[in-house]
Structure formats: structure tokens, C-alpha cells
Structure 1
Amino acid sequence: MSPTEDAQNSEMAYRLLEFSIVIVANDHNPSIINPDFLMINEIVDKEWRRIGDAISTPAFSKVAYDNNLSITVDPNRLNIVDGSGDLNIPNSPALKVARKYVEVLPHIRYSAVGINFRVFYEIEDPDQAIKSQYLKPGIWLESSDDLHGIGFKFAHPMENGKKLITVESAVVNTMDPSDGSVTQKTGIMVFGNYHRDCKEYPAARQLDSCFGLLPNDWSDFNSILAKLGGNHV
């Protein structure tokens, strides 16, 4: 059975690559975000071990830890990424960092928060799989030119925001932890973005309400994966 036929006849086993929380603001101050500030204010746990060199400048800051969590900040965006693949999303350390950051810095002019999921299903010919599973035959599939990528998006309104689901063919690099070798895997990537605007000032209370919706967003995203023909993550 070919990979495409296998994808058509069985549920796709998605793998969580990344969960992230993005907090948009007009006046983040990257220069104060450094390992000492994060630890002293208990935004991160003291037990976390930093990996790599931390960057702290007026324009951009980044700190990464050995639990696969990273924090990057520019004047308009705080991005907290959990790349551990742990499916216990409601208890992700990224959520703890987001809540504590807002608690420590409540008077930043926060304007929005995004809850994001990124999952991957490995398959040999993702373009053909997407065409055969999700797209109706038509002239858009009859071009004589080579196809080097295919995808589609769904956008839905939510209270105070919107939900965007993106499905596309992709290539990801996978590292073997035993020897550090890197191989490329082809497959189908699904992104889920749950964006909510924050119109209050200070917005700490509204942000905390948005963070509280994380279990609902995660459940909703899994239901979408099921409708797309995949296993729950």
C-alpha cells in the first residue's frame, strides 16, 4: 500500500511539534528580559537550566532552557515556545511563564494573545495526500507545472478574536538524539492559531481569562484534527 493510500484508509497519527503563547503589546521592553530577571521574579523555575547564550538587547531578547522552552521578546511581541512535545498542554510551563510575566509586568499595554499549536504527520507524498483527501478535482489541479507545495486555511470568528487553521505540505528536520544526525521528513503540517484581542487597560485580568481558555482551545484543535482524518494528538 502506498503512503497516500495509507493516509486515505487510516487515521493519521499526528505528532505535536510545538505549543506556543504569543502576547502582543505596544511596549514590551526586551532589554530587561535576561536569565536573572526571569529567575528573580519567578517567571521561570530556579531548577531550569539555561542552554546556549542568552541575548538581551533593546531590540530583541532570547533565553532558552533545557526543558525545550524558549522565551523571545521584541518591542511588539513576547513568544513563549514549548517544544517538548508533551501532550499535557494545560500544564505546560509556557502557560506558567505567560501568567507570571503578565503578573510581574501588569502595566504593559497588551493588545492580544495567541494560543498556537503545530502538529506534523509524516508521509512520503504529502502534496498528493492533500489533493486526494481534501481537494475536489478541478482545473486548479490540472496544471502541467510541477507542484512544490499545497495547502489551505480555515478562518472562524471567536469572541474577541478569530481562529485560523492551516493545513499544508511541509518538510521538517528531525534530529537523532543518539548521534545528533539530522534527517528531513516530509509530511502534512497543521497549524492552529487562537487569537484574542485585549481591549482593556490594564489588560492583566483579560489576559488571564484568555489563558484560562487553553484547555478548550486544545480540545477544539483535537476535534479539528479528528475531522481532518487524524488521531487525537
Structure 2
Amino acid sequence: MSQTLITQEFGIIIAAKNHKPTILNPDFLKYTGIVPTEWELARQPIYTQSVSQVAFTNGIAIIAEPTRVMFIEAIENKAVKEISIPEIAKKYVEALPNVEYEAVGINPRGYVAFEKEQDAARLFLTETLLSGGAWQEVGTAPVRATLNLAYTLERGPLYLSINEASLRNPDETSTPIVLFSGSFSYEIISETVLERKNSVHQAVDNWQADLAIYQEIINTKFIGKNSEQNSVVPNVFAMSAAV
């Protein structure tokens, strides 16, 4: 295969007890210094008792729910120094230290495009990643598959979901793609507010290594290409190895 992984989106999810979604609003984010005051809203924020969402024009969105807060950033074509949500997530925890944070998920998402053949993405899943058999011959249309994997890494588990999708082009055509959605999961174990905050920060600080590991696994183990093209962080392996 000559395809290369395009790392499209990066997310940090922090699981928490008794988190109040109603606290999330642009004023809170700006007066606490979580985001710069000059950031502009992409659309009107969403406020309900169960979820609040604030999205900015730079591709960053923050979503708060009673059991978690999500920080999501579009990172395609961004350099590593331009990625903002790790520091934003840490500042959010600093501003709300008494929330009972329970776990951190580092969630990169990327895709591999198959521009020449409309059926190539499906065949990659059903023939390259899976073995053929009678199970694929049921029904009146070709079977479609989603693959969920769990890896045990040194620091913690990596959950990887692989599925077929399509990318809409500006000319209204679509390109078949295979999505690779990863999640590195870290449990927060602490007895004090300070220990909890430091544990969250330590998990978030792993983000560059986790992103590089995710890219390395996809590029070398799934599409057979150890390429740094379209990667947003250096390859840590070459330099030296949900909630």
C-alpha cells in the first residue's frame, strides 16, 4: 500500500464525578485564562442541564457532561507547536481542582484515503485485515466490517477502532476512507486534590508520545509504511518506542 495516515483530529477526554456542565461557557473559559480572550466562537454555544458545548473558529471545541469533559481539536496540517488542547485541558483542571477526576483518555483519530477505487476501503477491512470465509457471503450486498482492538502497552491500554467511512470533497464527490480511532486510557488514582490534579496533568503530558505511538502503529503495522508525511509530531521510535 502507498497510502499514508492523515491525522485529522485529536481529543482529550477527562472522566469525572459530579461535574456540572452548566459551568462551561465562553466567559468562564476566558476570565479563568483557559482560552485566550481573542478567540472567536464558531457558532452559538449549547447549554442544557446534561451537556454544554463551546466551539471556536480555530477548530477547537470543549464539551462538558456530568461524567466527563471533552477537548477536541482539528489538527490536520498543524505543526506540533500549534496544538492547543493539552494546555487547555490542564488549565481547565487548574480552574476546577475540586472536581473528582477519574480517568484521562488521549484520543487521536486519523484516516487513510483510497481515491482510485470506491470499494477499496471496504476490501482493506474485509480482505487485508480479516480472513475471508463463508461469513462474508451472507446477504445480498458485500459485508461491511468494524474492527475493535485492545493493546496492552507499557504505560496503559490503547483501544483502536477501525471502520469504513467516506470523506466529502469540495466538489461534492466523496472519497472512501478507513478511519483509525485511538484511545489511550489512564486511570487517575489519588487521595488529595493536589495529587489528583498532578495525576491528570501527568497523563495529559503523555500526549506527544501517545500520538507518535498511534501514528507509528498505523503506518507500520496496518498500512506498511513508516512515513513521517502528514504526521504532526516527530517519530519517537526513529529518534530512540477511551474514557
Q: Structure 2 counterpart of 1:92, which letter? A: I
C-alpha distance in 2 between matches for 1:90 and 1:166: 27
* Pairing of 1:6-25 with structure 2 (within 5 A): 10-25=1-16
| Higher percent of residues as strand | 1
Partner of 2:218: 225
Unaligned runs of 5+ in 2: 232-243
Q: Deviation of residue 144 (structure 1)?
A: 4.9
* Aligned equivalents of 2:133, 2:143: Cα separation in 1: 18
Specify which of 204, 208, 216 is matched with residue 211 of structure 1: 204
Residue equivalent to 1:5: none
Report if the CA contact (8 A) 1:67-1:84 is conserved: no
Q: Using the TM superposition, give the Cα deviation of residue 157 of structure 1 relative to its aligned residue in structure 2, in angstroms.
A: 2.7
Q: Does 1:195 align with 2:195?
A: no
From 122, 141, 145, the equivalent of 2:113 is 122
Q: Which residue in the other structure is 2:72 paired with?
A: 81
- 2:55 aligned to 64, 86, 89, which one? 64
Residue 71 of structure 1: SS of its match in structure 2? strand
Which residue in 2 is equivalent to 1:94?
A: 85
CA contact (8 A) 2:104 2:200 kept: yes
SS of equivalent residue, structure 2 residue 50: coil
Q: Matches of 1:14 and 1:171 in 2, distance apart?
A: 15
SS in 2 for 1:19: strand
Cα distance in 1, alignment partners of residues 19 and 173 from structure 2? 37
Q: 2:83 corresponds to which letter in structure 1? A: S
Quick one: percent identity of the two aligned structures? 25
Distance 1:163 1:192 in 2: 7
The answer to whether residue 11 in structure 2 is matched with residue 39 in structure 1 is no
Residue 19 of structure 2 is matched in structure 1 by 28
- Cα distance, 1:111 vs. partner? 0.5
Counterpart residue identity of residue 88, structure 1: A
RMSD: 2.1
SS at match of 2:44: strand
Distance 1:200 1:160 in 2: 17
1:20, distance to aligned residue in structure 2 (A):
0.5
AA partner of residue 108 (structure 1): V
Unaligned ranges ≥5, structure 1: 1-9
Task: State the 1:148 CA deviation.
Answer: 4.8
2:152 maps to which residue? 157
Q: How many residues end up aligned between the 2 structures?
A: 219
Q: 1:135 aligns with which of 119, 130, 137?
A: 130
State the match for 1:7 in structure 2.
none
Q: Deviations over 1:158-204 (max 9, x none)?
A: 46742111222112344x3xxxx654332111111101111214311
Show the counterpart of 1:169: 164
**In 2, distance between residues paired with 1:117 and 1:148?**
27
Aligned match of 1:50: 41
Distance 2:137 2:63 in 1: 43
* TM-score of the two chains, using structure 2 as the length reference: 0.82
8 A contact 1:151–1:166 mirrored in 2? yes
TM-score, with length taken from structure 1: 0.85
Task: Report the CA distance between 1:222 and its aligned residue.
Answer: 1.2
CA shift, 1:28, in A, is: 1.3
Quick one: distance in 2 between partners of 1:161 and 1:112?
12
